[in-house]
Amino acid sequence: MESSASSIESLAARIDSLESERAIRRLSHDYCLGFDKRDADRFLSIWWNDAIWDIGPPFGRFEGIAGIRRALYEVLWPAWARTQHLSGNHCIDFQSADRARCVSDVDCVGSLVGEADCQLVGATYTDQLERRDSAWRILERTVAIHYFNPVPGMTLSPPDG
Amino acid sequence: MESSASSIESLAARIDSLESERAIRRLSHDYCLGFDKRDADRFLSIWWNDAIWDIGPPFGRFEGIAGIRRALYEVLWPAWARTQHLSGNHCIDFQSADRARCVSDVDCVGSLVGEADCQLVGATYTDQLERRDSAWRILERTVAIHYFNPVPGMTLSPPDG
Amino acid sequence: MESSASSIESLAARIDSLESERAIRRLSHDYCLGFDKRDADRFLSIWWNDAIWDIGPPFGRFEGIAGIRRALYEVLWPAWARTQHLSGNHCIDFQSADRARCVSDVDCVGSLVGEADCQLVGATYTDQLERRDSAWRILERTVAIHYFNPVPGMTLSPPDG
CB contact under 8 A, A151 and C151: yes
Minimal Cβ distance to A57: which of C29, C154, C159: C159
Of residues C41, C50, C85, C93, which has the active-site annotation? C85
Q: Are the C-beta atoms of C61 and C55 separated by less than 8 Å?
A: yes
Contact A159 B148 (CB under 8 A): yes
Residue B153 has pLDDT above 60, yes or no: yes
Average pLDDT over residues C35-61: 96
CA Rg, chain B, in Å? 18
In the set B16, B30, B36, B146, the catalytic residue is B36
Contacts 24+ apart (CB under 8 A), B30-34: B30/C91, B31/B85, B31/B87, B31/B138, B31/B141, B32/B85, B32/B86, B32/B87, B32/B106, B32/C89, B32/C105, B33/C89, B33/C91, B33/C103, B33/C105, B33/C124
Rounded CA separation C92/B26 (Å): 9
Supply the pLDDT for residue A80: 98
Residue B21: its H or E element: helix B4-36
Amino acid (1-letter code) at residue B65: I
When pLDDT is averaged across residues C11-19 and rounded to a whole number, the result is 97
Q: Using a CB-CB distance cutoff of 8 angstroms, which residues of chain B are in contact with residue A12?
A: 7, 11
Interchain CB contact of C57 with B (< 8 Å): yes
What percent of chain C is modeled with pLDDT above 90? 93
Catalytic residue among C29, C36, C90, C117: C36
Task: Give the model confidence (pLDDT) of C123-149 as tens digits.
Answer: 999 999 999 999 999 999 999 999 999
Laid out side by side, the sheet with B60-63 consists of B60-63, B47-56, B135-150, B119-132, B99-112, B80-96
Cα B137 to Cα B134: distance, rounded to the nearest angstrom: 10
pLDDT, position C57: 86
Residue B4: its pLDDT value, please?
75
Integer angstrom CA distances of residue B78 from B75, B82, B117, B133, B145: 6, 10, 17, 35, 19
Percentage of residues in chain A having pLDDT higher than 70: 98
Q: How far is A22 from A73, CA to CA, in rounded Å?
A: 28
Residue type, C128: Q
Q: Tell me whether residues A57 and C84 touch, CB distance under 8 A.
A: no
Check CB contact under 8 Å for A88 and B90.
Answer: no
Rg (CA), chain A: 18
By C-alpha distance, which of A58, A50, B16 is closest to C157? A58
CB neighbours of residue C63 within 10 Å:
14
Strands (E), B97-156: 99-112, 119-132, 135-150
- Mean pLDDT, chain C, rounded, equals 96
* Cβ-based contacts of A28 with chain B (< 8 Å): 89
Work out the mean pLDDT of chain B and round it to a whole number. 96
Query: Which of C76, C86, C90, C149 should we substitute to test contact with B (largest number of B Cβ atoms within 10 Å)?
Result: C149
Q: What proportion of chain B, given as a percentage, has pLDDT over 90?
A: 93
Is the confidence at residue B13, as pLDDT, over 70? yes
pTM of the model: 0.96
* Predicted pLDDT of residue A122: 98
pLDDT over 70 (residue B1): no
Active site residue B107: no
Percent of chain C with pLDDT over 70: 98
Residue B2 has pLDDT above 70, yes or no: no
Instruction: Quote the CA–CA distance of B138 and A21 in Å, as a whole number.
Output: 24
* C82 vs A: CB within 8 A: yes
pLDDT 10s digit of each residue in chain A, 161 long?
A: 456 777 999 999 999 999 999 999 999 999 999 999 999 999 999 999 999 999 998 899 999 999 999 999 999 999 999 999 999 999 999 999 999 999 999 999 999 999 999 999 999 999 999 999 999 999 999 999 999 999 999 999 999 86
Determine contact: C66 vs chain A, CB below 8 A.
no
Assembly ipTM = 0.95
A105 shares contact with chain C (CB less than 8 Å): yes
Residue A15 with chain C: CB contacts under 8 Å:
15
